[in-house]
Amino acid sequence: MDEWTRGVSPVIGVIVMVVLVLLLASVFAAGALRFGDGLSGPSFTTGNDSALSGNPWSGNREDLVRLSDTRAGATDVSYRVNFTIEEDSDTTGNSLNSVYLEVTTEPKPDMFSETERADLVRVGIDENSTGSIDREITGDVDDWTVENDGAALKIGFSGSAYTASANDSVIVVFEGAKNPDNPGEYELRAETSGDGNTHYGTITITESGEASVTWAASPHPSTVALREARGPAVTAERRRGPRPHRPRFAARRAVEA
């Protein structure tokens, strides 16, 4: 081999090595981008500016409770409960220790017995009367207890994440409930920390074949996905203070923008 050949060979080897390194780097970079893209998802919208028309999680403050499916006998139903801390409530100025939900209509239906802690989507606080969550306290949940043969659900908190302020709204979203088999009106009682900060709302369960808006909350607490849309959502009106004997507030239908 002459001197020219011996001089060129190392140069060619270096060039080949550089090309291989660049090719490997580009492959790893492309893989990292694809992996990173898969980690992100659409943001959870709780405000009235939701891009998803009819989104039951974007509502008005006067709506105590919304269901993802109002049909009789429906299972794995998502609930959105939204109620306000009253100025004269003992909760005001103290830690939020629990949220208690109970269906009080007799015979009391078994609606929550199949729910568990894993069905909780999120708990948050609306501090600005906008209907959207300003502060997340989902991580403060430390207990999930089904009571009264499935007619009641108590969600416990450690109390370290939030000190209640008057006119704040507590928003709770969870899945896994099941609707009564019989259509009709069912009263829901919501209370914070067992201190008399109580609201009542009427849920209307429709015939199994009637139109309903059906949404599915994503397992990820920051996303929401549309499962099926069949018509306007049914919302329940909120009543504050002691439970009145009569009249009951009938549920109203609200077509959201």
Average pLDDT of the chain to the nearest whole number? 70
Of 20-24, 32-36, 120-124, minimum mean pLDDT range: 32-36
Is residue 112 within 8 Å of residue 186, measured between CB atoms?
no
pLDDT of residue 220: 32
H, E, C per residue of 36-67: HHHHCCCCCCCCCCCCCCCCCCCCCCCEEEEE
Please, which pLDDT band fits residue 10 given cuts at 50, 70 and 90? low
More confident residue, 149 or 202: 149
CA distances from 194 to 97, 135, 188 (A): 9, 22, 15
Tokens of residue 247, six digits: 């009249």
Of 127, 116, 195, the residue nearest 155 (C-alpha)? 116
Query: How much of the chain exceeds pLDDT 90, in percent?
Result: 37
Is residue 86 within 8 Å of residue 92, measured between CB atoms?
yes
Of 226, 227, 217, the residue nearest 121 (C-alpha)? 217
pLDDT of residue 3: 53
The pLDDT tens digits of the residues spanning 136-159 come to 999 999 999 999 999 999 999 998
CATH level 3 topology of 63-254: Immunoglobulin-like (2.60.40)
Please, which pLDDT band fits residue 90 given cuts at 50, 70 and 90? confident
From the CB of residue 61, how many other CB atoms can be counted at a distance below 10 Å?
A: 16
Q: Is 172 exposed, middle or buried (0-12, 13-18, 19+ CB in 10 A)?
A: buried
How many whole angstroms separate alpha carbon 255 and alpha carbon 257? 7
3-state secondary structure of 210: coil
Q: 78 pLDDT exceeds 50?
A: yes
pLDDT of residue 223: 28
How many whole angstroms separate alpha carbon 151 and alpha carbon 109? 6
pLDDT of residue 119: 96
Extents of the domains making up the chain: 1-40, 63-254
pLDDT of residue 131: 75
Of 8-12, 82-86, 242-246, minimum mean pLDDT range: 242-246
Q: Is 72 exposed, middle or buried (0-12, 13-18, 19+ CB in 10 A)?
A: middle
Q: 76 pLDDT exceeds 90?
A: yes
How many whole angstroms separate alpha carbon 79 and alpha carbon 173? 6
3-state secondary structure of 201: strand
